[in-house]
Structure 1
């Protein structure tokens, strides 16, 4: 391996303190448990880590050191200066423009030598034709001591536990994302918009390399990072097209074509499966159930990876959870069934009958009896929807750039989208969310409106919902509002069964059953909105939702909706409640621009009237980032509230609460036809 020399760079006290706390808390937990957790399984722990690292030594992963993105990039990141407050998150950095508050400091930072070296490394490893690979092993073994000291590696702790991994290098990549956004803006305003847009392409390609890593956290980071990069690429073209030629824009679209990005080669993470096997091996008695002296401390480390001081409370919680847990053999079999089922489904179309009508093995699993599996590998299921959305973002971006190139060449907008072919795109790509294979929807505001003889065409009105509501995961990061919509929609279905269904359509509800449903779903809502119990946002949201539920159930003059209609109505009510709390801005668009959007998972054409978090369509053009930045300039930063501090690249820690039993059967068809309700690039995955 090539030796690496790294300058001291900056010392990160937050990382140092967190690492010390993890080590201290782990040691104390081991003392409390009599040291059994360390003594029992240390040799096996190393073997499990080696199994994951062996994935990178396969024939398809052998690359020379000169093509290893981690060896080229990470030493430069270690030497970077910390971003200024105005560019402390990628979203903040993307919103900055010359003349805005904080720009001068961000520009000075971006043009300093350490940052210039990092940008040059990004341009190298992000070359679409470069054929780089990010192959840093997991754990400290095989990683340069300088990178370990800089926390630019995957820290597995002592003893090494895969499920408790902390991916420190992703924090540094977030800082690089902020740097790339500032530099792209600087280039664009200097008349070099093509170079700024090309930098975003390099960022997308780097993020694609991370998507080939072997843990869910890494793949989820890569997914949201690619989406943010696509949003910013469209934003630069939208704002600075006058400094590009139509050939420039066409070339940008070609640089992110399917054969270059190769999303069809994305696979499920294998590391999480091995991590779950390791937990079963180290925390269960051979042939028996959980080992009381090991299970609690091990699961506490996993659940509190980013919150070390919470480890003691988690140990007690998981010690209690061990009582009803399945034994070793059943847990091994269940893990195999869950993962093999996911692997089979991964290659199916989202519209396949199996995906639409048959619950997965994970959904049928007893979450309380198999809480280890639910906690360690449960988040992996999110990648199915995320991949579908990512494919739509790439296809939609290519189509949006084709229309933008047409406009640049002809100084006019195409009357119909088909006019962009073949000069600006070789084919009209279908909307991946359209089961019928229809194209993305295109229209020009005010053009072709049906108006009366005394009326004039009106601008198109669009509501953009902003994630002002702090929807938190267990490590105080935000996650998507569609998780709440899914939970509340599922709750509505069960409440319907306990009222109308249980009484044969009568008016007498099963109050005890309603209370049981409410209590069960309260915990699930709290996990999303208010995991620490601070402020009771989740309780207030659920209370308002319940009030709306009873009003809807009692209305209609005795005529009650079908269950399907009621669940759809409940989801719409939940969406409105979330939008009220998150805030929104209203945009009007005239015929100087075009609108391109995807129908999203809902599969219905809604004319992009409501977009963003809690919206109904996936907006591709105009880029939402451009629209919001313009609105901020007109109204001032105050309208953004918490949104300006929103971190779209934050990563969740494993769920620390005891897993909640899922419903016996989810309505697959209804879930397929309800909107994911996110705005491109501005909400988490």
Structure 2
């Protein structure tokens, strides 16, 4: 069975039903009220950053290239082809920098769900989350994420431009604001929002380390120390502050109300066929012909509304328990409620709601990227003050580095990240690329998701998704062949 993104499934399911319902707007209005009651949305307007940020985006001039796999916050840097045009674009839009910094200082982003809840100018530019609009199916429901990617491309370009111009403190202020902005976006309540913004925050942390490496001679010891102690640690990307998304559950409950009989609680074959066939046909248009009959059959075997809602709640309760417990608890090895779910009796639950267990590893990746960047800033502070890297990481404790901030999430005993001071020339393998580090440098790496110390076992330093994760020197800078400035 195909699993669609939960919000798109929700939207299409509601649309399919609402096309035949006279109470459509009321149902969608109630759904939006529930979605907008989340802590990342509700609050006074003065506590929200969305208008400041996106009003400035409306005035942002067109970038020299469209945002794509070839042009984004991951690929922009002064050594890229066409940098002069990118640099000029960044320089010509100072209002965007001011807006990023101001929005990052607000309590929440606060962009409401529902296209009707944003100005017409925002709708025209796609700055919205479209839940349902006049019965039309919208494939790109989180259109504001495209605007966010363009803002981040600008911020990345302007950060590099400022460093190149020797305005290091302004560059630091903007790059830190970018982290805080994305951290607030990570609090939004749909899975696609949380996953996307966590990935963007990881890339932004990588860029910050790249700047540490490329502009170390333009950042002094106290600036590095401030970043390591007063800025990044307070992003709080740990399990006690970064929560699982709940909006997907809310939308699923709304769909269930539409496809089950309100009196008996039984699954309605006609509604199952209309709603779920329409959802499935988006990704499998040729499957529409057999899907309708299959959904009618499933409705006859499906659990009732109370049991279905209970199964959905049990799945989310289980995810919440797992999210809050300590890494490597024995509970994490138990079968999840999602995996236990009967695919026939609760077919609608598994069809609408995606398994979010991949978000657990992404959270660990983000937490380690955060800590790796803190360690990198502390190392650079030490070197800026003393002219060399320490022989051992413990020399950094407690100032400029807190020991807790150097713990490797991917170490089952929760030991410190691996640190090596290089007395000899050392090869580092980054994917298929081999680069050389000179004596006097150092290496900081995590064991990575496979929980194995691949670099120690192989005798060479390796970096990659299936190997260790190198935080210093930054892998991106090494592969690009950037020269470190000291």
Is TM > 0.5 for Structure 1 vs Structure 2? Answer: yes
Distance 1:612 1:161 in 2: 43
- Aligned partner of 1:124 among 99, 102, 119: 102
1:336 paired with 2:313, answer yes
* Deviations 1:319-340, CA, capped at 9 Å, x for gaps: 2541335233332221111111
Find the counterpart in structure 1 of residue 256 from structure 2: 280
Per-residue deviation, residues 89-121 of structure 1 (Å, max 9, x unmatched): 586454444464211221222222xx3222210
Structure-1 separation of matches of 2:274 and 2:61: 37
Aligned positions of 1:435-584 closer than 5 A: 435-445=412-422, 447=423, 457=424, 459-465=425-431, 584=432
* Number of the residue aligned with 2:3: none
Coordinate RMSD, CA, aligned? 3.1
Q: Of 594, 611, 615, which aligns to 2:463?
A: 611
Kindly indicate whether the alpha-carbon contact (under 8 Å) linking 1:95 and 1:625 is maintained by their aligned counterparts in 2. Answer: no
Give the 3-state SS of the residue equivalent to 1:597 in structure 2: strand
Residue 474 of structure 2 aligns with which residue?
623
By how many angstroms is 1:293 displaced? 4.1
Partner deviation per Cα, 1:378-419 (whole Å, 9 max, x = no partner): 243322221122111212211121112111211112111111
Q: Distance in 1 between matches of 2:268 and 2:199?
A: 38
Contact 1:84-1:106 at 8 Å conserved across structures? yes
* 1:169 corresponds to: 144
Preserved CA contact (<8 Å) 2:228 2:400: no
Q: Which residue of 2 aligns with 1:417?
A: 393
Alpha-carbon distance between aligned partners in 2 of 1:163 and 1:100, rounded to the nearest angstrom? 35
Cα contact 2:67–2:149 (8 A) shared by 1: no
Cα distance in 2 for residues equivalent to 1:338 and 1:99: 48
Residue 269 (structure 1) shift: 1.3
Could you say which residue in structure 1 is the equivalent of 2:48? 68
* Structure 1 residue 427, shift from structure 2 partner: 3.3
The 1-side partners of 2:372 and 2:225 are apart by 14
Name 2:161's counterpart in structure 1.
186
Match of 1:47 among 11, 30, 52: 30
Distance change (3 Å), C-alpha of 1:346 and 1:109: same
Distance of aligned partners of 1:163 and 1:381 in 2 relative to their CA distance in 1, 3 Å threshold: farther
Matched, 1:431 2:404: no
Change in Cα spacing, 1:609 to 1:151, as seen in structure 2 (3 Å) is same
The 3-state SS of whatever aligns with 2:114 is: coil
**3-state SS of the aligned residue for 2:36?**
helix
Corresponding residue SS for 1:269: coil
- TM-score using structure 1 length: 0.62
- Calculate the TM-score normalised by the size of structure 2: 0.85
1:351 aligns with 2:332: no
Question: 1:266-415 counterparts in 2 under 5 A?
Answer: 266-286=242-262, 287=264, 290-299=267-276, 302=279, 312-313=285-286, 315-316=288-289, 318-322=291-295, 323-324=297-298, 326-329=302-305, 330-356=307-333, 358-367=334-343, 369-415=345-391
Give 1:311 deviation, angstroms. 7.2
Q: How many angstroms apart in 1 are the aligned matches of 2:254 and 2:134?
A: 12
Q: Could you say what secondary structure the match of 1:54 adopts? A: coil
With over 3 angstroms needed to count, the CA separation of the structure-2 counterparts of 1:464 and 1:426, relative to structure 1, is closer
Cα distance change on mapping 1:26 and 1:241 into 2, 3 Å: closer
Describe the shift of the 1:424–1:257 C-alpha distance in structure 2 as closer, same or farther (beyond 3 A): same
Task: Give the direction of change, closer, same or farther, for the CA distance of 1:172–1:142 in structure 2 (3 Å limit).
Answer: same
> Could you say if the C-alpha distance between residues 303 and 83 of structure 1 is closer, same or farther in structure 2, counting changes exceeding 3 Å?
farther
Of residues 188, 193, 204, the one that matches 1:229 is 204
Aligned equivalents of 2:478, 2:40: Cα separation in 1: 46
SS at match of 1:258: helix
The offset of 1:164, in angstroms, is: 7.2
Q: Is the 8 A contact 1:301 1:311 kept in 2?
A: no
Does the C-alpha gap of structure 1 residues 404 and 437 become closer, same or farther in structure 2, counting only changes over 3 Å? same
| Closer/same/farther in 2, CA of residues 182 and 36 from structure 1, 3 Å limit | closer
Paired residues for 1:248-263 under 5 Å: 248-261=223-236, 263=238
Shift of 1:461: 2.5
Listed as ranges, the gaps of 5+ residues in structure 2 are: 1-7
Tell me, in whole angstroms, the C-alpha distance in 1 between the residues paired with 2:320 and 2:199.
Answer: 22
Report the CA distance shift for 1:49/1:302 in structure 2 as closer, same or farther (over 3 A).
farther
Structure 1: which 5+ runs fail to align? 1-21, 448-456, 466-583, 634-685
Alpha-carbon separation, structure 2, partners of 1:345 and 1:188: 42
Match of 1:473 in 2: none
Q: Secondary structure at the match of 1:187?
A: helix
